Amino acid sequence: AQSVTQLDSHVSVSEGTPVLLRCNYSSSYSPSLFWYVQHPNKGLQLLLKYTSAATLVKGINGFEAEFKKSETSFHLTKPSAHMSDAAEYFCVVSESNAGNMLTFGGGTRLMVKP
C-alpha cells in the first residue's frame, strides 16, 4: 500500500528566502512521485515528477525535488521564494502495481511574506 505524509500543513517564508516543503512516502514498489501546486479556486498544476530517472528533479518556476530512497523522502525546494509562490502544494505518489492510482498528501499551504 502506498501513502504520503506532508510533514507541515503550513509553511511561512519571507520573499527571497529559501523554500522547503517536506514529503515522506511509503510504497511497496518503485513509485512515481509528483508535486502539484494549487492556487486558490484553481485546479492542479504539475510542478515536477520523479519516475526512476535522475534523483534530482527540476521543475517549473525554479522548484526542484530530490528523491531519497533511503529516507523515503521527496522534499520540494526553491532557492528564493516569490510572492506568486503562495499556494497549496501537494505531494503525490503513484505505483504501477496499484493501477497508477494517485495517493495525495494532505497538502502544505505556503505563505510568502513581503
Any contact of residue 106 with another protein (CB under 8 A)? yes
Any contact of residue 98 with another protein (CB under 8 A)? no
Q: Which of 5, 24, 32, 77 binds another protein (CB under 8 A)?
A: 32
Any contact of residue 35 with another protein (CB under 8 A)? no
Q: What whole-number distance in Å separates Cα of residue 1 and Cα of residue 23?
A: 17
Nearer to another protein, 15 or 107 (CB): 107
List the one residue out of 16, 4, 15, 19 whose CA is nearest residue 109: 19
Binding segment for another protein (CB under 8 A), chosen from 16-24, 64-72, 73-81, 90-98, is 90-98
